[in-house]
Amino acid sequence: MMGSRGTSVVLSRAARMRQKLQSALEASALDIEDVSYQHAGHAAVKDNANETHFNIKVISPKFEGQSLVKRHRMVYDLLTDELNSGLHAISIVAKTPTESGS
């Protein structure tokens, strides 16, 4: 939970995730949708249903030549701190600019 996140007090998890993904992946598009409400009351999030589940759509040139598993691992690796501090699950769509047709 401790770390170098000096701004974590004021930033929402969604905003922190956006910063981390945007800068590391040089994303040309990044959608982060909080869907925690869909999972409120499920076994693992009894107490705190805030910012636990997200849908993430990210388009990044860094995914070029990477398998889906690797792309998802890249996203997970960037969000390790969040996963260790209450982020429970993310649904990931990870495409390259070419694949997204943009």
Partner 1 sequence: MAAAAPSATALAGAALPLPLSARPQPARFSVALPRTAPPPPALRLRSVRRLAAAEGPPAGMKETLDKVVSAHKVVLFMKGTKDFPQCGFSHTVVQILRSLDVPFETLDVLANDALRQGLKDYSSWPTFPQLYIDGEFFGGCDITLEAYKSGELQETLEKAMCS
Q: Would you tell me which residues interact with partner 1 (CB under 8 A)? A: 39, 41-44, 68-69, 72-73, 76, 80, 83, 88-93
Cross-strand bridge partners of residue 33: 55
What is the side-by-side order of every strand in the sheet holding 89-95?
A: 29-34, 53-59, 89-95
Residue 71 and residue 95: Cα distance in Å, rounded?
9
CB of 94 to partner 1, least distance (A): 9
Whichever of 2 and 10 has its CB closer to partner 1, that residue is 2
Instruction: Identify the CA nearest to 37 among candidates 50, 46, 47.
Output: 50
Q: Which strand (E) or helix (H) includes residue 39?
A: none
Whichever of 14 and 92 has its CB closer to partner 1, that residue is 92
Whichever of 7 and 31 has its CB closer to partner 1, that residue is 31
Whichever of 27 and 82 has its CB closer to partner 1, that residue is 82
CB of 10 to partner 1, least distance (A): 26
* CA angle (86, 79, 52) in 5-degree steps: 30
CB of 6 to partner 1, least distance (A): 24
